[in-house]
Structures are given as C-alpha cells and as structure tokens.
C-alpha cells in the first residue's frame, strides 16, 4: 500500500515536470509541488533498489551453499529496507505540527455514576504512572474530587516534548467492565470516562501569564475572577483566587481554582485555553483537508467508544484498530510501560495505514 501511494506520487511528479517544461509562463505553485515530490521520487527509487537487492539475497539464502555468505548482508539489507520504508512513509503522510509538543490530558466521567468517577481517577493514575516510568515530568494541574470516591474532572500535564505523539490516540470514550467494590452480588457494571488530548502550547505547566495573555487580542478573552469553591459549593478561600476565561470567538470556557494564587490559576487557565484552541484548529484543518479529498474524518477524531477495559477477562481491546491485550493490570497500573506502548504502536500503525489507504482512494477517484 505504501509502495502504491509512492508510485501514484511518482506519476504525478512526471506529469508536473512535463507541464512545467512545456509551459509558457513559470508556475510557482506547481514548481513548489514538483520540488516536494522530487524528494519522494528519490526516496522511492532508493527503496526499489533496496527491495530488489533484498529479493536477490532471499534467493541466495534458499541455497545452502550461498546461505552463509549472504546471511550478514541479508540482515543489513532488511534493516535498510525497513528504515527506507519508514522514511518514505514520513514523506508521504500529512504532517502533524504538534507531534513534538508536551501534552495536556483532560478526563471526565461519563455514564456509570460513582463507578465512572472512580474509573476516571484510574485513567488519570494510569497516565501518571506511565509518564513517571518513562521519566516524563508530570503533574495534576486541576482536579475536582468526588466526596464518595473518584474525580469529576482532572487535567494532567505531561511536560515532555514529544509526549503528544505517543498519547494523541488516547482521546475519546474509554469503557470499563468490572465488578465495583460496592457490588454485593458480584454483577459486572459498565461505566465510561472521556479523555481529551491536547498539545501543550507553553514550554511547561508553570506557564507565564503575561506571555500567554499577549497571545490574544484584548477583546478576545473575557477574564472573570471569583472565590474558589469546595466540593459542596461552599467558599474555601477568602480572596478572589479562582479564574474563569471565556474565549469569545469560540465560546470555549476554562476555569481554574486549584492554586491559592490568582496569578497561578490565571497562568494555568491560559495554558489550557491555548491548548484547546490549538487542537480545535488542528482538527478543523484535518477535516478540511479530508473534505477536499472527499474522505470522512477517521474514527481517531470522533468522541466514540475507543477502548474497553474488561477486568473479568484481564483484557483491553482497542476498537479502532482491533488490538487486544491480556495484560490489563500491567497497562492500568503503569508497571510495564511496554504493555501500554503495544497499544499505542498498534494504533499508530493502523492510523498510518488507513491514512495511506484514503490517499490512494482519493487519488484514484480524482483521475
């Protein structure tokens, strides 16, 4: 499939080159596109040469007399071919400008009452433990506890550049199937929690209020200050330390009250607002690009049920790519990050394959 898409682009390169050579006037847009495609064509040729070499070595490996001589070269050529495939894939796939960013994870309970709130806290701790095992600095910048257990909202900051690339697929509705601690008859309950993944648009979660505010026009954001409130609604602070930002053009509202300092709450609120706006812009851009290719937005962008955690079967299933792991405890506890990475890698591979498939189909439809 990767090769097929690369061949399509190679044919497009040849067509553009012919058009430019016979054109009476210089076309800057076509010339720029030709230059971009030239890199893909060169990469494809290198890949095809390595592929031919690999196939020749495969034939030699099947001959007992030549196997020993060809074995070392066969291994190195295979590694070279795999690297070239990744390089080619990187040139073909649309770029995501946020892959090198740090991450904000917003978590809220869905259906399931108190069990959904407990599951939301479980997810928060799963991401915290995973990040800690990876030695990624992380902290909860906002959390609202439920007096009976669990949380009603949490925002986790993972201050490691590139963490967004690994966690971008976590956005969506997570479902848990298990017997709650309060269930006396041993019945399995189903609950959900929603996760939103945002690129962190500041260097770290400490933020800088002045710098953040300068990113917006004075009339673009309304800032309201108030006293912080506790879980029961009572005031827990005698000063106006809580901050609520309203982004007037989009209607996005961010409230922050975890810190005793209004300045710190304001900095955190602006950080979350910038992240939400950046993600909104990215999603809109992806949707527009896909619309141009007459393709639908992939399931990774829908707030759909993305994953099930079945405690009875010790199973995690990602419904988008179909990957199943029977290492639920290791994933949820974060004790073995490699088990979580298996899910991420499966989704990454699936998403790239689906994107290439869409590109091929849209190119075929336009010819």
> pLDDT tens across 216-248, in order?
777 899 998 887 765 545 555 556 789 999 999
- The domains of the chain are located at 2-92, 99-199+295-367, 201-292
**Percent of residues, the chain, with pLDDT higher than 70:** 87
- What does each C-alpha distance from 115 to 122, 152, 305, 328, 332 come to in angstroms? 10, 11, 17, 18, 16
Which residues, 6 or more positions from 358, have their beta carbon under 8 angstroms from its beta carbon?
290, 293, 295, 298
- For the segment 272-295, the average pLDDT, to the nearest whole number, is 74
**pLDDT band at residue 12, thresholds of 50, 70 and 90?**
confident
For residue 319, pLDDT over 50 is answered with yes
- What does each C-alpha distance from 215 to 97, 105, 198, 208 come to in angstroms? 18, 22, 18, 11
Model's pTM, two decimal places? 0.71
pLDDT single digits (tens) 79-112: 888 888 888 888 888 777 888 899 999 999 999 9
**pLDDT band at residue 290, thresholds of 50, 70 and 90?**
low
Which has more confidence, 360 or 35?
35
- For the segment 211-219, the average pLDDT, to the nearest whole number, is 64
Length of the chain: 367
For residue 204, pLDDT over 60 is answered with no
Task: Encode burial over 13-36: b for 16+ CB neighbours within 10 A, e otherwise.
Answer: beebeeeeeeeeeeeeeeeeebee
- For the segment 147-162, the average pLDDT, to the nearest whole number, is 93
pLDDT at 357: 80
d(CA 363, CA 367): 7
For residue 364, pLDDT over 50 is answered with yes
**Beta strands across the sheet bearing 324-325:** 138-145, 151-158, 102-109, 189-200, 172-178, 305-310, 315-318, 324-325
**Range name among 5-9, 250-254, 265-269 with the lowest pLDDT average:** 5-9
Q: Would you say the CATH fold of 201-292 matches that of 99-199+295-367? A: no
pLDDT at 74: 87
- For the segment 246-268, the average pLDDT, to the nearest whole number, is 89
Q: How many of the other CB atoms lie within 10 Å of CB of 97?
A: 11
Structure tokens at 37: 């495609």
pLDDT at 23: 79
| Mean of all residue pLDDT scores within the chain | 84
**pLDDT band at residue 297, thresholds of 50, 70 and 90?**
very low
pLDDT at 300: 30
- For the segment 135-146, the average pLDDT, to the nearest whole number, is 94
Q: The domain at 99-199+295-367 falls in which architecture?
A: 2-Layer Sandwich (3.30)
Counting beta carbons within 10 angstroms of the beta carbon of residue 65, is it exposed (0 to 12), middle (13 to 18) or buried (19 or more)?
exposed
Domain 201-292 indexed as CATH 3.30.930.10: no
3-state DSSP helix/strand/coil % of the chain, to nearest 5: 50, 20, 30
């Amino acid at each position: 499939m990767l090769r097929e898409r690369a061949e399509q682009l190679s044919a497009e390169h040849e067509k553009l080159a012919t058009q430019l050579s016979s054109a009476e006037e210089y076309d800057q847009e076509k010339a720029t596109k030709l230059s971009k495609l030239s890199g893909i064509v060169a990469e494809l040729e290198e890949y095809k040469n390595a592929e031919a070499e690999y196939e020749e070595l495969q034939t030699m490996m099947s001959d007992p007399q030549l196997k020993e001589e060809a074995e070392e070269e066969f291994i190195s050529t295979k590694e070279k071919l795999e690297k070239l495939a990744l390089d080619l894939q990187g040139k073909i796939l649309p770029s995501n400008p946020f892959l090198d960013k740090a991450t904000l994870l917003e978590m809220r309970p869905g259906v399931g009452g108190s069990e959904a709130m407990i599951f939301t806290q479980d997810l928060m701790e799963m991401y915290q433990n995973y990040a800690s095992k990876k030695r990624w600095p992380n902290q909860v910048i906002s959390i609202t506890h439920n007096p009976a257990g669990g949380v009603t909202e949490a925002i986790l900051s993972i201050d490691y550049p590139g963490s967004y690339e690994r966690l971008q697929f976590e956005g969506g509705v997570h479902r848990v199937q298990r017997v709650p601690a309060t269930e006396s008859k041993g019945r399995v309950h189903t609950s959900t929690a929603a996760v939103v993944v945002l690129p962190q648009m500041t260097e770290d979660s400490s933020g800088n209020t002045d710098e953040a505010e300068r990113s917006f026009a004075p009339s673009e954001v309304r800032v309201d200050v108030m006293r912080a409130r506790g879980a029961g609604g009572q005031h827990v602070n005698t000063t106006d330390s809580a901050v609520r930002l309203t982004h007037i053009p989009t209607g996005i509202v961010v409230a922050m009250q975890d810190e005793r300092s209004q300045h710190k709450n304001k900095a955190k609120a602006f950080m979350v607002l910038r992240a939400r706006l950046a993600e909104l812009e990215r999603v809109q851009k992806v949707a527009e690009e896909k619309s141009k290719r007459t393709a639908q937005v992939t399931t990774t962008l829908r707030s759909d049920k993305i994953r099930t955690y079945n405690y009875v079967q010790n199973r995690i299933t990602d419904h988008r790519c179909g990957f199943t792991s029977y290492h639920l405890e290791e994933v949820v506890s974060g004790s073995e990050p490699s088990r979580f990475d298996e899910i991420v890698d499966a989704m990454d591979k699936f998403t790239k394959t689906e994107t290439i498939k869409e590109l091929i189909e849209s190119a075929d439809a336009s010819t």
